[in-house]
Amino acid sequence: MVKIETFDATTFWNKSYAHQRGKLLKRVQVPDDQIKILVNKPYLELPAPLRYEIETSGIKKTELT
């Protein structure tokens, strides 16, 4: 059985700049008006379904930097 690979979003979110967070949110198809609000929030304040989508999206850190 293959292990599901997850993205370490908490660490990325804490160490990244707003433009990198915006790229991540665009990759999971968040509307632009919401991106402006969400990039400045702490990771744990993001809605749970969005956090789940980010962590299981298969995005690699190298794609965002």
pLDDT tens-digit series, residues 23-48:
999 999 999 999 999 999 999 999 99
The per-residue pLDDT of the chain, averaged, comes to 89
pLDDT value at residue 59:
86
Angle in degrees, CA 22, 63, 41, rounded to 5? 25
Provide the whole-model pTM.
Answer: 0.85
Report the percent of the chain where pLDDT is more than 70.
92
Tokens of 29: 């198809």
**Residue owning tokens 């702490």:** 42
